[in-house]
């Protein structure tokens, strides 16, 4: 029994200071080049270095505006992490498949994991289709011979659903950021206890975790004390 770490790579340039936030919005809505000296995926690099130091593995979900740089790809290879699609344009199977192919062409890897950007309430960017329709994504993932879908519900006690040919869907996750978690029902100590009995998805966004020292400390403690796994 272990943590299944899910990292949603939402922002190419983070969200602070203001200049990097604006570059993230520009990259998401229109286009901006991937420039390492401007801090492209800087927060993700820090998180991956923390994971690799502990030999902890994770799933990394990329958008079209957060495609991994050469440095990030090397850290992914070193840590044997898995790459996934963080789906933005979920209007149809065709738009989903285009995003899957984009990430596969960029990384040179077959993508077997899927998540959805946003939970239905807000439109995040020009290309983003806001409605949250997990049944459709599960169907598309199965049709594309993917292996796992990670959903956005906020009750980590909900158990996963297994399907044919080894496909598995996790409807919910333990959101490390407390804004998306009932901290009275699900404190971090709950995660330590539960991960000793069953697999639990831990969801985080690098820029949010590193913005608050207490979250960064909690993440470091989790990675240091709990085993992690990638689904075979």
Domain range holding 205?
3-225
Does the residue 230 lie in any domain?
no
Does the residue 214 lie in any domain?
yes
24-65 residue pLDDT tens: 999 999 999 999 999 999 999 999 999 999 999 999 999 999
* Look-up of token digits 């390492």: 36
Does the residue 126 lie in any domain?
yes
pTM: 0.97
CA nearest 93: which of 149, 61, 152, 139? 139
In angstroms, how far is CA 196 from the centroid of its own chain? 22
2-25 residue pLDDT tens: 999 999 999 999 999 999 999 999
Does the residue 7 lie in any domain?
yes
Q: How many domains does the chain have?
A: 1
Does the residue 231 lie in any domain?
no
Does the residue 232 lie in any domain?
no
Does the residue 68 lie in any domain?
yes
Domain CATH for 155: 3.20.20.370
């Amino acid at each position: 029994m272990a943590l299944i770490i899910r990292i949603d790579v939402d922002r190419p340039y983070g969200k602070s200071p203001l200049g990097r936030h604006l570059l993230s919005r520009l990259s998401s809505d229109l286009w901006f080049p991937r420039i390492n000296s401007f801090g492209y995926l800087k927060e993700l690099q820090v998180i991956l270095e923390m994971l690799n130091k502990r030999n902890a593995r994770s799933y990394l979900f990329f958008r079209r505006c957060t495609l991994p740089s050469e440095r990030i790809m090397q850290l992914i290879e070193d840590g044997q992490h898995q790459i996934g699609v963080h789906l933005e344009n979920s209007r149809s199977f065709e738009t989903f498949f285009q995003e899957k192919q984009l990430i596969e062409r960029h990384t040179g890897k077959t993508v077997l994991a899927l998540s959805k950007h946003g939970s239905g309430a807000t439109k995040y960017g020009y290309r983003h289709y806001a409605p949250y329709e997990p049944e459709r994504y599960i169907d598309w993932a199965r049709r594309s011979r993917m292996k796992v879908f990670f959903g956005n519900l906020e009750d980590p006690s909900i158990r996963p659903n297994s399907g044919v040919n080894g496909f598995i869907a996790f409807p919910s996750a333990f959101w490390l950021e407390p804004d998306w978690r009932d901290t009275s029902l699900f404190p971090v100590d709950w995660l330590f206890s539960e991960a000793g009995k069953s697999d639990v998805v831990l969801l985080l966004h690098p820029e949010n975790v590193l913005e608050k020292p207490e979250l960064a400390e909690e993440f470091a403690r989790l990675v240091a004390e709990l085993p992690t796994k990638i689904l075979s």
